[in-house]
Structure 1
Amino acid sequence: MSERPCGVEAAFRTTSGRVRGREAGDGITAVLGIPYAAAPFGARRFREPRPAAAWDGIRDCTAFGPISPQSAELPGSPVWHPGDEDILTVNVWAPEHADGGALPVFFWIHGGAYTFGSSAQPDFDGTVLARAGLVVVSCNYRVGFEGFGHVPGFPDNRGLLDQAAALRWVQDNVSAFGGDPGNVTVAGHSAGGGSVVCLMGMEQTRGLFRRAIAHSVPHAFYTVELATAVTERIAAEAGVAPTAHGLLSVPPQALVAASDKAAARCGTEPVTPVHAFDPVIFQPVVDGEVLPADPLRMLASGAAREVDLLVCHTLEEYWFLHAVGAVREVTTEAELADFADALALPAHLVDGYRALMPGAPVLDRYLALFSDAQFGEYTTRLAEHHARAGGRAHLARFARRREGARPWHTADIPFAFGNLDAVGADFLIGSAPDAHDHALSRRMLLSWAAFAATGDPGWPALTPDTTPVKSWAVPKDHLTADGTSGLRALWHDVRFDLLRPAQATRPRSRGLSGA
């Protein structure tokens, strides 16, 4: 239940104690940095999340909590400092509503290559979305080695287990903020979208949400063998054995530094051939326990057919990653052939993109292929497999273009959150927003809200035989039948389970010593 003592901000009663937030404007109360689990350090490091300790009195929750260990410094966002340990927190934006009925809940998982990011990024502020009639919740979780590094004898996918614990917190507590625990939508972007589709097939989250929104889902996961090879590289950079004892002896800040060094070395000594082009070294691990199978296979099996799914990707995902220097540049036909070989792409795909993009530079064809292999086609396949397995699925693509602005990775999120004026959003969306952009943002935000409330975002669901696609664009959107796409025809017989190499490569000369 909530309390509103005279002269102070709203107080809410959670299972751990009472909390007080701050007014965020227009009847929205933001309650930030609420612990949902105990600090995952000391004796709890590399273990599954444990319950948060209770407190007496009213806890002041007017500022975001500390973020997970990482080296990233993002615009307008907090940074991690050694000694910050109480990192497993949630934030709630709770609207006042006159009828007193329970509102749909929108639960957001941030992205960041499973390596960085936090719920405090300005474009993730839940105020505008809450005004649409949702209780908005976001969470911090362990990223990088703390959350996704393989440690012998400890659970894999600790970041996913953190997210599951935060969803259990929602079940136990969101009614105090006016939310309906029986109508929860889990949503995320990039690594957050990848997390969403992993959560859909995990036993630990069964019954914790009824709908899912996943934007720009990466085709990214490891076998245990690959995760072990990554740990070996990072342990070598840290100067310890790749054992539980060795890794526990390395402070979080040193493990972050060792992980950054291992990622930087991937350009010349990749753990898998793909790392030579995109050195993201942390991914969910298909361990058979926390994550029973890769998400595409789980959805195809009907493991989550009771969950409504909305997926979206941008038309030019990798142009953003190239712009920020996160991927290797490819400018010659020989380099493009090496890239295709690294991803095990069939030759007809390279030829087909050349035919469909006549006169385009090699770099553009490379980025287009990479975008579709890692995000676009994979995201679309998830929706199609879910529909064919008996689930309800909707598909959208972000196609907004303006002079100097591409529909690239991350550009869609400030639009859907209604945060076009947030710090850093101008770079993400590629230009200052105009009236058409604000109108598009409103349409996207309302589609999220409608889907969270009813399961219907405003356009037809996929069927086993048809793939209708909503294209978000300016000045107006359009609906197409995906079967008419030349690109989709190229991918028709390509099997994603054959695209990623199953074996780790081994360093050529420097070994695992880091010398």
Structure 2
Amino acid sequence: MTVCDTRQGAVRGRTSPDGVTSFLGVPYAAPPFGARRFREPFPPEPRTGVRDATVHGPTVPHAPYAPPFDVLIPDDGVEGEDCLNLNVWTPAPEPGAGLPVMVWLHGGAFTNGSGSTAAYDGSTFARDGVVCVTLNYRLGADGFLHLPGRPDNRGLLDQIAALRWVRDNIAFFGGDPDRVTVFGESAGAMSIGMLLTTEAARGLFRRAILQSGACHHFLRPSSAALVAARLAEKLGIERTAEALAAVPLPELLPAQAELRAEVSADPDPARWGEAVLNLMPFEPVRPALALPGPDCGVDLLIGSNAEEYRLFLAPTGLLHTLPESALLAATAAYGLDPVAALPVYRTARPAASPGELFAAVATDWFYRIPAIRLAESVPNSYLYEFGWRSPRFDGALGACHALELPFVFDRLDDPSCAPLLGAHPPRALADAMHGAWVSFARTGNPGWEAYDTTTRTTMAFTAPLASAPVADPRAQERLLWEGVR
């Protein structure tokens, strides 16, 4: 057992045989319940004695993923109110070590996920000389519902509170508070996109890695109000924090999940506003798109997977059953002229079904083009694309959303990752990708040339021994989105 100080009191962690010490379930904010419900995070209470930090703490309340995604995407739940906690893995739990720090923000469409999922175990980063932190933040209605008289984006405020805890305490664990890299995937990356233009987050991290998410996913207040009104209607309550707080969690959490299903089943902009495009009724609220500029003061590594949207189509069968009419309607809803755009996508996919073409268009709208726009806005950013294709679902899953995570965390042997990875994922690719993330956290350079609008250099993580930078991949498809996205 190893003991480290924090400003709230000492914590006791566990050291593994390979020399990595973990401190689990450490509170960075007070429990967000009772009088603190639907408010900004409050500081954790100081304590006396030594707190045990050898097991994961409670997770933020959330409903499980719906089938078939409950099998494909690792998630967990631990009951308890002290859920605003974090985990630290370090190779040198002592002040003065000055190691780079990586802080992970999990994905899950702002309604699922936690920092304690086994797939996010940070010991591999600590093995390679990085202090790794994972954390929970409020989700769903508690984190992101637009409520009168309450602060918006409470989940983002939690993330900022955790980053402040890192700034104030990580030196006790061997980390350098001036060398913090925040990294995240999906909703976690979209959160970072918001933090890059949030004044309260300025100076809390020096570098950022955004995987499959950037700055384009948010709800304007008018759309957020529509979502909140519908949830209140479903629950038979007024749209107030007090009324929502009175709803028992066993009733509230299923209602949130049902709301997401309603958006998918009836994507009417009059009912949901912008949420009909990304099918996420709970997400950050802001009045307009904001991209950071050249003076943001943060080094960026940004990217996406080559076939992100197949995760949402292959397991459900829609990849091969989506009708042509739905493809045309969706393409138009994303802002493209189907008559002009779809032949461009078909050029590289001559035998593609309507569902496969929709997956390509949606991948660009949702993930790839926002990543490019962010890289264009901040000079000397680095861009990547993950292209290794999973053999699952007879290969139809492809290089789908979330597939890069076991490679980034070097967790290919974790059983919870097998439903996405299939058998025998390439170890060398994990070495390359994980190594690039560590290099970026240490130096600000992942190992290839920065992105610019002349060469548009993009690192393609594909076959184990064939990953290499490429210039402007799928340029004609990218050009379709100029002035659109």
Q: TM-score, normalised by structure 2?
A: 0.91
Task: Name the CA shift for 1:248/1:302 in 2 (closer, same or farther; >3 Å).
Answer: farther
- Counterpart code for 2:431: R
CA distance in 2 between partners of 1:201 and 1:122 (Å):
31
**Equivalence for 2:381:** 393
Structure 1 counterpart SS, 2:54:
coil
Preserved CA contact (<8 Å) 2:95 2:172 = no
CA distance in 2 between partners of 1:443 and 1:32 (Å):
28
- Counterpart code for 1:85: E
Matching residue within 191, 194, 197 for 2:187: 191
CA distance in 1 between partners of 2:13 and 2:197 (Å):
34
Preserved CA contact (<8 Å) 2:457 2:472 = yes
**Equivalence for 1:473:** 462
- Counterpart code for 2:336: L
- Counterpart code for 2:252: L
**Equivalence for 2:299:** 308
Preserved CA contact (<8 Å) 1:135 1:178 = yes
CA distance in 2 between partners of 1:251 and 1:152 (Å):
20
Preserved CA contact (<8 Å) 2:336 2:484 = no
Per-residue deviation at 1:260? 1.6
**Equivalence for 2:45:** 53
Preserved CA contact (<8 Å) 2:303 2:371 = yes
CA distance in 1 between partners of 2:321 and 2:368 (Å):
20
Query: What RMSD over aligned residues (CA atoms) do the two structures have, in Å?
Result: 2.3
Per-residue deviation at 1:220? 1.8
**Equivalence for 1:148:** 144
CA distance in 1 between partners of 2:33 and 2:134 (Å):
22
- Counterpart code for 1:250: V
Preserved CA contact (<8 Å) 1:330 1:366 = no
CA distance in 2 between partners of 1:136 and 1:263 (Å):
32
Task: Please say if 1:43 is aligned against 2:35.
Answer: yes
Question: 1:44-123, aligned counterparts within 5 Å?
Answer: 44-72=36-64, 77-81=75-79, 84-96=80-92, 101-123=97-119
Structure 1 residue runs of 5 or longer lacking an equivalent are: 1-8, 288-292, 497-515
CA distance in 2 between partners of 1:334 and 1:273 (Å):
22
**Equivalence for 1:283:** 283
Task: Name the CA shift for 1:58/1:217 in 2 (closer, same or farther; >3 Å).
Answer: same
Aligned length: 469
CA distance in 2 between partners of 1:370 and 1:408 (Å):
12
CA distance in 1 between partners of 2:273 and 2:194 (Å):
24
Q: TM-score, normalised by structure 1?
A: 0.86
Structure 1 counterpart SS, 2:419:
helix
Task: Name the CA shift for 1:402/1:65 in 2 (closer, same or farther; >3 Å).
Answer: closer
Preserved CA contact (<8 Å) 2:336 2:480 = no
Preserved CA contact (<8 Å) 1:336 1:362 = yes
CA distance in 2 between partners of 1:378 and 1:12 (Å):
41
Structure 1 counterpart SS, 2:172:
helix
CA distance in 2 between partners of 1:447 and 1:197 (Å):
21
Structure 2 residue runs of 5 or longer lacking an equivalent are: none
Task: Name the CA shift for 1:328/1:240 in 2 (closer, same or farther; >3 Å).
Answer: farther
Matching residue within 366, 377, 398 for 2:369: 377
Structure 2 counterpart SS, 1:21:
strand
Task: Name the CA shift for 1:326/1:167 in 2 (closer, same or farther; >3 Å).
Answer: farther
- Counterpart code for 1:30: S
Question: 1:304-453, aligned counterparts within 5 Å?
Answer: 304=296, 306-325=297-316, 331-347=322-338, 348-387=340-379, 392-401=380-389, 403-404=391-392, 405=395, 406-429=398-421, 431-434=422-425, 437-453=426-442
Per-residue deviation at 1:72? 1.2
Task: Name the CA shift for 1:94/1:456 in 2 (closer, same or farther; >3 Å).
Answer: same
CA distance in 1 between partners of 2:86 and 2:460 (Å):
32
Task: Please say if 1:461 is aligned against 2:450.
Answer: yes
CA distance in 1 between partners of 2:238 and 2:260 (Å):
18
Preserved CA contact (<8 Å) 2:57 2:78 = no
Preserved CA contact (<8 Å) 1:151 1:247 = no
Task: Name the CA shift for 1:209/1:276 in 2 (closer, same or farther; >3 Å).
Answer: closer
Per-residue deviation at 1:59? 0.4
Preserved CA contact (<8 Å) 2:307 2:363 = yes
Structure 2 counterpart SS, 1:424:
helix
Task: Please say if 1:298 is aligned against 2:291.
Answer: yes
Per-residue deviation at 1:103? 0.1
Question: 1:198-217, aligned counterparts within 5 Å?
Answer: 198-217=194-213
Preserved CA contact (<8 Å) 1:69 1:146 = no
Preserved CA contact (<8 Å) 1:278 1:327 = no
Task: Please say if 1:224 is aligned against 2:216.
Answer: no
Quote the sequence identity (%). 38
Per-residue deviation at 1:343? 2.5
**Equivalence for 1:234:** 231
CA distance in 1 between partners of 2:117 and 2:407 (Å):
14
